[in-house]
Amino acid sequence: MSSQESVVESRSSPNGAIVKVENLVKEFGTLKAVKGVSFEIQEGEIFGFLGPNGAGKSTTINMLTTLLKSTSGMAEICGYDIHKNPTEVRRSVGVVPQEYTADEDLTGYENILLCADLYGIPRSNSKPHAEELLALVELSDAKNRKVSTYSGGMRRRLELACGLINYPKLLFLDEPTLGLDVQTRTAVWKYIRMLKAEYHMTLFMTTHYLEEADSLCDRIAIIDHGQIVKMGTPDQLKASIGGDVIIVGVKEADPDISSDIAKISLVKDVKKKDSEYRIKAEMGEEASPQIMDLIRSKGLHVTKISLTKPTLDEAYLELTGSSLREEETNKMQMMSQRVTMMRARS
């Protein structure tokens, strides 16, 4: 075990960053899809790009996987510059694209072998490896069926297996659970956790599902209008919107004891509306009994109390706003999205 660990160690770059992105910009004509993003991903972490549709998530992934040329800026993936060494970048990363890219007329097994051929992996290695990966994503039974007979979930799992065929250290997942049912989504989450835990893989995923980012990612960058608006661990992001919310209903509307409640050290903010106090506090579990005691000591009666923990939803909506997006999108993107959704539901 220790010898293996040292192998892993020696592969990492000195500061442990497997992805370094500086001021990456992409313009499509006059449309600025990505307006200069900078971030680093450490080896072994799951890094998530979270943002609404059209925020620039896929564009960034496509630039990092060298499918799109960036307008300006630089990025280094596994030590290779995306502009100077695109072929080496492609060789060292795995990509699970947003759309379904497997060939429908071939079987799952043929598809994964084809992928291996495109990476130049000799058949003597790719055949057993393909079997292993198909077993990993639980497709061994269906491996000799044509992909056109696969369900959306099976296709997504096949894409994942194809993305792993070249032994990547870094795996890009673009909206890995888009349009999937709950069972498949749970399974995909399980694989993602397993890749990190058992194979020490670094994962870069995009998503617009908050719960997904919250439960999977070690660090999240919230991206909107082509810019990173906030970056940190899920807990940091939640904390940034300011603690737990306690709502206490009191029988008597008078007297106003807001100022007394605000004196409790854990309480950060108190607002009163009619007979209800809306209190923002750190560590709500400890603050609420103190608040109850205080209210009782004033001779008042508590009618109800509720404690709400902040969710990523709130942090997210606070940062990106709640208005609906009507981003410009090109025909090509719409078409591929339609095809993806159609197949996911099949």
Choice between 106 and 319, CB closer to another protein: 106
The least distance separating another protein from the CB of residue 326, rounded to whole angstroms, comes to: 23
- In the block, tokens 């297996």 appear at 161
Specify whether the CB–CB gap between 168 and 201 falls below 8 A.
yes
Using rule CB under 8 A, residue 81 touches another protein: no
- Tell me the residue ranges of DSSP E strands in the chain: 17-28, 31-42, 46-50, 72-77, 80-81, 93-96, 170-174, 202-207, 219-224, 227-232, 244-250, 267-273, 276-281, 302-308
- Cross-strand partners of 319: none
The least distance separating another protein from the CB of residue 85, rounded to whole angstroms, comes to: 11
Binding mask 197-216 for another protein (x = CB under 8 A): -xxx----------------
- Using CB under 8 A, pick the residue from 2, 10, 15, 120 that binds another protein: 120
Using rule CB under 8 A, residue 87 touches another protein: yes
Using rule CB under 8 A, residue 119 touches another protein: yes
Specify whether the CB–CB gap between 233 and 220 falls below 8 A.
yes
Using rule CB under 8 A, residue 71 touches another protein: no
Using rule CB under 8 A, residue 336 touches another protein: yes
Q: 326 exposed, middle or buried (CB, 10 Å; 0-12, 13-18, 19+)?
A: exposed
Stretch that binds another protein, among 36-44, 90-98, 262-270, 275-283 (CB under 8 A): 90-98
Q: How far is Cα 64 from Cα 41, in angstroms, rounded to an integer?
A: 12
Two tokens, residue 29: 């004509």
Stretch that binds another protein, among 36-44, 71-79, 228-236, 331-339 (CB under 8 A): 331-339
The least distance separating another protein from the CB of residue 51, rounded to whole angstroms, comes to: 21
Q: 133 exposed, middle or buried (CB, 10 Å; 0-12, 13-18, 19+)?
A: buried
Report the length, in residues, of the chain. 346
Choice between 104 and 285, CB closer to another protein: 104
Q: Element (H or E) spanning 140, and its range?
A: none
Choice between 1 and 182, CB closer to another protein: 1
The least distance separating another protein from the CB of residue 183, rounded to whole angstroms, comes to: 11
- Using CB under 8 A, pick the residue from 9, 22, 105, 285 that binds another protein: 105
- Using CB under 8 A, pick the residue from 1, 10, 254, 322 that binds another protein: 1
Using rule CB under 8 A, residue 115 touches another protein: yes
Q: How far is Cα 316 from Cα 250, in angstroms, rounded to an integer?
A: 32
Using rule CB under 8 A, residue 100 touches another protein: yes
Using rule CB under 8 A, residue 337 touches another protein: no
For another protein, the binding residues in 135-164 under the rule CB under 8 A are 162
Q: How far is Cα 288 from Cα 291, in angstroms, rounded to an integer?
A: 5
Phi and psi, residue 33, nearest 5°: -80, -40
Give the residues lining the site for another protein (CB under 8 A).
Answer: 1, 4, 7, 65-69, 86-88, 90-91, 95, 97, 99-106, 110, 114-115, 117-122, 125, 129, 132, 162, 166-167, 198-200, 332, 335-336, 339-340
